[in-house]
């Protein structure tokens, strides 16, 4: 039986991501004068997929796989006409009218799966239960778009990169001319997260609506926020 074209494309994307990761690691190894060879460093970084994340209770791979499975489910129900009709009837009954845009927005969000949002809601439930026990399960019925990158996944890869090259912490620099962030470790982080997301897509068998795109600034926003949080706790 012929292999679907989408599978070929996803496998090719994973191969390209692996090649990009190896090239970024080689550049970092030379720049930092690391004695370990490129293959060893890449293998150590890839082991991060099996790292268990504290607040999730899942490994990095499981978290990424879960997100891909949810995305596939959400794409399936996003344009469900029967759901939109039910929502339209509800909005008309509540507001007296329902614009097409409002119905589409509600349809996109109301039935979304978002395990990360559920975990946050459950954590909030635990925090407030001693003072004001809620009635029933506390979950947000409306899901906005989840963050593009999971915070703990990004931190896990950043820590792994610093550890494998024996640096005290993950670091990057800013250019003076345009204030743009750059650095060999940052390049490896971007390549690592892209590779990991490609692996999760391939394993979940989901057909992405667009190619995996990982930006340095998107990852750095997480690392900067984590640093600020750590400083505030230290103070």
Tens digits of per-residue pLDDT, 174-186? 887 777 889 999 9
> Under 8 Å CB-to-CB from 207, ≥6 apart: which residues?
6, 10, 72
What's the pLDDT at 133?
47
| Backbone φ, ψ for residue 52 (5° rounding) | -85, 130
Q: Are 149 and 225 in contact (CB under 8 A)?
A: no
Q: Are 46 and 199 in contact (CB under 8 A)?
A: no
Closest-CA residue to 227 (of 154, 176, 166) = 154
Check whether 168 has a pLDDT greater than 90.
Answer: yes
User: Which stretch of 19-28, 33-42, 139-148, 189-198 has the lowest confidence by average pLDDT?
Assistant: 139-148
**Percentage of the chain exceeding pLDDT 90:** 42
Which SS3 state, helix, strand or coil, does residue 61 take? helix
Mean pLDDT, residues 125-132: 53
pLDDT bucket at 227, cuts 50 / 70 / 90 = confident
Looking at per-residue pLDDT, the higher value among 115 and 194 belongs to 194
**Percentage of the chain exceeding pLDDT 70:** 57
Looking at per-residue pLDDT, the higher value among 86 and 151 belongs to 151
Check whether 54 has a pLDDT greater than 50.
Answer: yes
* Owner of token pair 């990982």: 214
Q: The whole model's pTM is what?
A: 0.68
> Per residue in 78-106, pLDDT tens?
545 555 666 666 666 666 666 766 665 66
């Amino acid at each position: 039986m012929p292999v679907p074209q989408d599978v070929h494309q996803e496998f090719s994307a994973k191969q390209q991501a692996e090649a990009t990761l190896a090239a970024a690691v080689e550049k970092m190894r030379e720049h930092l004068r690391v004695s370990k060879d490129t293959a060893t460093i890449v293998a150590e970084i890839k082991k991060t997929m099996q790292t268990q994340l504290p607040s999730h209770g899942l490994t990095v791979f499981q978290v990424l796989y879960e997100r891909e499975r949810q995305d596939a489910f959400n794409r399936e129900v996003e344009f469900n006409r029967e759901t939109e009709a039910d929502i339209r009837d509800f909005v008309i009954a509540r507001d007296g009218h329902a614009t097409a845009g409002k119905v589409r927005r509600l349809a996109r969000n109301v039935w979304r799966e978002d395990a990360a949002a559920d975990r946050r809601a459950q954590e909030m439930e635990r925090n407030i239960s001693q003072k004001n026990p809620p009635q029933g399960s506390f979950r947000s019925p409306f899901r906005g778009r989840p963050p593009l990158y999971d915070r703990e996944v990004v931190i896990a890869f950043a820590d792994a990169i610093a550890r494998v090259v024996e640096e005290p912490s993950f670091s990057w620099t800013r250019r003076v001319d345009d204030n743009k962030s750059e650095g060999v470790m940052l390049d490896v982080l971007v390549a690592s997260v892209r590779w990991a997301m490609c692996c999760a897509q391939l394993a979940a068998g989901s057909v992405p609506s667009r190619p995996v795109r990982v930006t340095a600034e998107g990852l750095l926003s997480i690392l900067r926020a984590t640093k600020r949080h750590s400083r505030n706790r230290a103070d």
